[in-house]
Amino acid sequence: MIAKRISLNRFVMATVMTVAMVTAVRVPAAAAKLEFDPDGLIRVETTAPTDSITVGQRFRVVHEFSFPDSLSMIPVAEINTGKCRLLSIDRGERIDNGMGSRAVTLDLLALELDMARVPEQAFDFRTPSGDTLRVFSGEIEIPIRLVTAPDSELASLKEQWEAPARTWPWIAGAAGVLVLAALAWWLVRRRRKAALEILAPVMPADYAALTELTRIEAMGLLDQGEYKRYYTLVVDAIRHYLEKRFHVDAMDRTSDELLLDLGARGARVEALPAFLAEADLVKFAKYQPVRENGEAAMRTARALVVDTTPRMTDAASESRAVAAGGTA
């Protein structure tokens, strides 16, 4: 009877001490980030299976927890591995045997050359009342050996390639292949360019000149009083036409040089000298014409194009003349 009473008293005392211990380490959920030591209610043991590693060798750190069955472990959002790279993590399965237990295994790779350091990590547990308890794991330091790993962990190297005794045939062959590849690329590109040039539509010189003159007239430069720009554009259009029509370098010649080149080819354009002279006065001598002069210059330019355009009956003779280096 006395023995039963003593056992009952011990059970009551143990229950009271456990309740007092839980009450002492309870942390409100709102203060879960505070550092707090549960004073032995939760036990965490941090170990590393190896006492040293080599450069580039993987290693493991294991956090083993023992805690009352009434507590539940809160998943860690981020693992602090210091200057080690976290390769994988195994959170393990909880074992309920009156005292809960769990092992968190980290697979790591050291990024330093002297020491692999894994700092302490905070782990939180939730009580049935919703409070939070926090414990910290131990810090691990594993020396790094600046030697090679064991032979069993190293893959054999391939034998070094030795060049043949006579290397010049190989060099010549490689150079020949490169030359042939470059030649083939150049020929393909040239054919493509020629095909594009053939497919590109060629606009007749008279049609291009009359289209450009119409565009200039629609710009309204005479209404804006920009006579110098107006005459410059009109003359450039006529020069482009003469260059294509009579095969002369019209854009880089003065008015007198252009007339001499046209005369040497037997091409006489009656209204061209007066037209170029008036344009030169406006462009270089600050001559200020009136609107009627500008309109007359446009009519003259169109007439120059129309009068010098070959007729259908003269197409054959013009082709023979161009082939012979002359003009129609």
pLDDT at 41 over 80: no
Q: To 10 degrees, the CA torsion angle through 207, 213, 219, 222?
A: -170
% of the chain residues with pLDDT over 90: 16
Which pLDDT does position 224 carry in this prediction?
A: 92
Q: DSSP string spanning 102-131?
A: EEEEEEEEE-SSSEEEE---EEEEE-TTS-
Q: What is the DSSP letter of 63?
A: E
What is the tens place of the pLDDT at every residue in 170-190? Answer: 788 888 899 999 999 998 888
Burial track 210-238 (b if 16+ CB lie within 10 A, e otherwise): bebbeebbeeebbeeeebbebbbbbbebb
pLDDT at 16 over 80: no
Long-range contacts of 125-129 (CB under 8 A, 24+ apart): 125/42, 125/67, 125/71, 125/72, 125/73, 125/74, 126/29, 126/71, 126/72, 126/74, 127/22, 127/26, 127/70, 127/71, 128/70, 129/26
What is the tens place of the pLDDT at every residue in 61-115? Answer: 888 888 777 778 888 878 888 888 888 888 776 665 556 677 888 888 877 778 8
pLDDT at 251 over 70: yes
Q: What is the DSSP letter of 146?
A: S
Residue 321, exposed/middle/buried by CB under 10 A (0-12, 13-18, 19+)?
middle
Least confident of 33-42, 97-106, 208-217: 33-42
- Whether the CB-CB separation of 317 and 256 falls below 8 Å is answered with no
- Whether the CB-CB separation of 276 and 239 falls below 8 Å is answered with no
pLDDT grade for 230, boundaries at 50, 70 and 90 = very high
Structure tokens at 138: 């131990």
> What is the spatial distance between Cα 263 and Cα 279, in angstroms, rounded to a whole number?
20
Which pLDDT does position 233 carry in this prediction?
A: 95
What is the tens place of the pLDDT at every residue in 257-289? Answer: 888 888 888 887 888 899 999 999 988 888 889
Average pLDDT of the chain?
A: 75
What is the tens place of the pLDDT at every residue in 307-316? Answer: 888 875 454 4
Q: Report the predicted TM-score, pTM, of the whole model to 2 decimal places.
A: 0.38
pLDDT grade for 157, boundaries at 50, 70 and 90 = low
CA distances, 143 to each of 53, 79, 86 (Å): 7, 21, 18
> What is the spatial distance between Cα 29 and Cα 99, in angstroms, rounded to a whole number?
23
Which pLDDT does position 298 carry in this prediction?
A: 93
CATH of region 25-146: 2.60.40
Which pLDDT does position 117 carry in this prediction?
A: 86
